Amino acid sequence: MDAQLDKLKFDANGLVPVIVQDVANGEVLVMAFTNREALEETIRTGKVHTYSRSRGRVALKGESSGHFQHVKEVRTDCDRDAVLIKVEQVGGACHEGYRSCFFRKYENGAGDWEIVESKVFDPDAVYKK
Amino acid sequence: MDAQLDKLKFDANGLVPVIVQDVANGEVLVMAFTNREALEETIRTGKVHTYSRSRGRVALKGESSGHFQHVKEVRTDCDRDAVLIKVEQVGGACHEGYRSCFFRKYENGAGDWEIVESKVFDPDAVYKK
């Protein structure tokens, strides 16, 4: 039992949103959801685990790509209903090949969000290994 | 109508999570929820608005404290189901008096999350004005 995790306010599905941030430059890498088990695994292993709602299970971030997120610090907010994890990111956090999932920027008057980052790896090569 | 906002994937309640980040130093200030109307107001006014689930309405961040968040950049992620807003923060983002809501850090073996930041304003003074 971990008394600190007991103090988090998980939602009706046992989840809280989690923000993963690059400890080196502050870049927000990904926003996902986590649960009690994924947080315990994250703390135990030092690698970010999240709860994948699409797969219905706890998943090690980077399990197929090798792009692990090494945990440097875990924080929660005033309401204890969100988690922030600062990490050292291997490769890129985004399955589309970008360092951060937040590679699309709002541009006033544009028809679509503009891609403002460059890919750091080729997802076809990485996920077909 | 804003074609870019049409491309966001709002959940069954019309919401998406929003992360607000200090554009100057990358500090994650707050994690909240927003909806179509709050995003339109954010873009129109240049000040962050969120959807307050407790109050059941769109709220201007800083409306009682004067601690506005001036919008510098709006991003979305690969799945278009989360928003990141980079801002210039006036005062502090947290109603408890801290610059960031993420002022509590996980400490292995501790009984509770440790407060690792200092207050930047006195909430009693600010909210009783």
Tens of pLDDT, residue by residue over A93-119, are 999 999 999 999 999 888 899 999 999
> What confidence tier does A129 reach under pLDDT thresholds 50, 70, 90?
low
Tokens of A72: 């440097």
Cβ separation of A74 and B106 shorter than 8 Å?
yes
Cβ separation of B102 and A77 shorter than 8 Å?
yes
Kindly list the residues from chain B whose CB atom is less than 8 angstroms away from the CB atom of residue A107: 4
Kindly list the residues from chain A whose CB atom is less than 8 angstroms away from the CB atom of residue B76: 102, 104, 106, 113
- Rounded to whole angstroms, how far apart are CA atoms A18 and A83? 5
Cβ separation of A95 and B102 shorter than 8 Å?
no
- Rounded to whole angstroms, how far apart are CA atoms B77 and A39? 23
Interface contacts (A, B; CB < 8 Å): 118
Average pLDDT over residues B12-33: 97
Question: CA dihedral defined by A81, A71, B119, B129, rounded to 10 degrees?
Answer: -30
Cβ separation of A43 and B19 shorter than 8 Å?
no
Q: What is the ipTM of this complex?
A: 0.96
Enumerate the domain spans of chain B: 3-95
* φ, ψ dihedrals at B74, nearest 5°: -125, 130
- pLDDT at residue number B2: 85
**Tens digits of residue pLDDT in B57-113:** 999 999 999 999 999 999 999 999 999 999 999 999 999 999 999 999 999 888 899
Q: Tell me which architecture the domain covering A3-96 has in CATH.
A: Roll (3.10)
**Tens digits of residue pLDDT in A47-92:** 999 999 989 999 999 999 999 999 999 999 999 999 999 999 999 9
Tokens of B31: 């994690």
User: In A66-102, which positions are buried (b, 16+ CB within 10 angstroms) versus exposed (e)?
Assistant: ebbbebeebbbbbeeebbbbbbebebbbbbebbbbbb
Where does B3-95 sit in CATH, by number?
3.10.20.810
